[in-house]
Structure 1
Amino acid sequence: MTTLRTDPFPAVLQLLHAAAERDDDHDIGPLPPDATAAERADALAPIYMPVSDAGGALLYSLVRASRPQTVVEFGTSYGISTLYLAAAVRDNGEGRIVTTELSATKVAAARQNFADAGVADLIEVLPGDALETLTAVTGPVGLVLLDGWKDLYLPVLHLLEPHLAPGALVIADDTSFASVQPYLDHIRDPANGYVSTAFPVEDGMEVSCRS
């Protein structure tokens, strides 16, 4: 039995996926063009923006296979993707997760979800702007999940690169979004030190290995 199939974990995950299916019911409306990152995060607080079941299974498998000592996630939201990461860390028997989220509403909800699922002891949640909170991360970082604001994928990667272990995996979600293209251009250029592969999972995932 894996953590994914051991109570109370699957029940919590099922409830979160069910709630996320109602994302389209929320009419957020257009945000002011000069809205700050914090204002955007507050406006989008009702939206789960989850990783898919298939994407979560891929994350679980990659963590199990690579056995990273430190996993860093950019974009906690309500913690669905974090739970898949934590299940793998639990089943590996070693490691920790550092995740960051700007919305105070989501930070509180995610922490409760982690406690309900029985994996809170594996996860450190950093509230605030990722470009500030992630400066406190120390290496070696064995796996990174980029799943926050798409235009920040590349700045966050640059911030974490000095702490990446040789062979570290960097996973980007929602790579079909146009705003992810600058990141993809960088990560797919061999001169930048990665071997990268696209996975056809939901809105797309890019899995890249630091050489």
Structure 2
Amino acid sequence: MESSITNYRSNALRDPIILSVLDQMNARRKRPDSNMFQGSVAPDPELFADYGFSIHPEQGDLIYTLCRAMKATHVVDFATSVGMSALYFAAAMRDNGGGQVVGAELVSAKADTAYRNLTAAGLDAYVDIRIGDARETLKDLGKPVDFALIDGWPLAKGPTLARQVIEIIAPQLRVGGYVLNDNAESDFLEYIRDPANGFISVTLPIKRGTELAVKIS
């Protein structure tokens, strides 16, 4: 019991090792030339293996804080990329006394980078990155989900990945569970703001608009 109390009172985001890894990851941020996204065909994710399209620190702090407040132990990280968001989730799992981050990443080289970053931070034991199409790898999450981050990748046509993935995760999210969306895809917002789907949401003034939703039914 004492160990559990100690974990809950700790703050991994003050750990100098974890802070050092986060600082290094932020220092390595780079964005590809916008020309790589031009054309009528969706860009090949493999061409962007060296780019980490990661959440901003303010979003990471929000993820960590909410996961601590709700004592989350089962969370989803889509897409994991180089592991920035997974690191914040895993820090909360450690401080909550245990748990699992289920990651989803299409590009295996990025998953390898994410594991290196998580290992350097001492948090790899809390993360399971499922490599492949998230529309398949996230179909069965094993038990109710407390929190999900939904990012995405541009598609040439049809529903966005964010919209397709929320439709997969929503039935597996527990009542009271959170969803955080990074890119404000219009069809994702249409879904999450439709009362028939059981969510209420708010747009936060973080990174040009971050949508936070909670499942209420």
| TM norm. shorter chain > 0.5 | yes
Give the 3 Å change call, closer, same or farther, for CA 118–188 of structure 1 in structure 2: same
Q: 2:163 aligns with which of 154, 157, 182?
A: 154
1:4 matches 2:13:
yes
> Among the aligned pairs, what percent are the same residue?
34
> Which sections of structure 2, spanning at least 5 residues, go unmatched?
1-9, 155-159
Residue 90 (structure 1) shift: 1.1
Residue 158 (structure 1) shift: 1.1
Q: 1:173 aligns with which of 176, 182, 187?
A: 182
1:125 matches 2:132:
no
1:163 matches 2:172:
yes
1:40 matches 2:44:
yes
Structure-1 separation of matches of 2:77 and 2:205: 21
Q: 2:191 aligns with which of 181, 186, 195?
A: 186
SS class of match (1:29): helix
Task: Report what 2:210 is aligned to.
Answer: 205
Instruction: Indicate conservation of the 8 Å contact 2:177/2:214, yes or no.
Output: yes
Structure-2 separation of matches of 1:13 and 1:96: 20
Give the 3 Å change call, closer, same or farther, for CA 23–186 of structure 1 in structure 2: same
Task: Report what 2:61 is aligned to.
Answer: 57
Provide Cα deviations, 1:44-89, integer angstroms capped at 9, x if missing partner.
1122111111111111111111122210111001011111111111
Q: 1:144 aligns with which of 133, 148, 156?
A: 148
Structure-2 separation of matches of 1:113 and 1:27: 27
Instruction: Indicate conservation of the 8 Å contact 2:98/2:126, yes or no.
Output: no
Q: 2:31 aligns with which of 17, 23, 26?
A: 23
Which amino acid in structure 2 is aligned with residue 10 of structure 1? L
Task: Report what 2:118 is aligned to.
Answer: 114
Task: Report what 2:94 is aligned to.
Answer: 90
Which amino acid in structure 1 is aligned with residue 36 of structure 2? G
> Which sections of structure 1, spanning at least 5 residues, go unmatched?
none
Where does structure 1 differ by over 2 angstroms across 4 or more consecutive aligned residues? 26-35
Structure-2 separation of matches of 1:182 and 1:30: 20
Structure-1 separation of matches of 2:100 and 2:35: 34
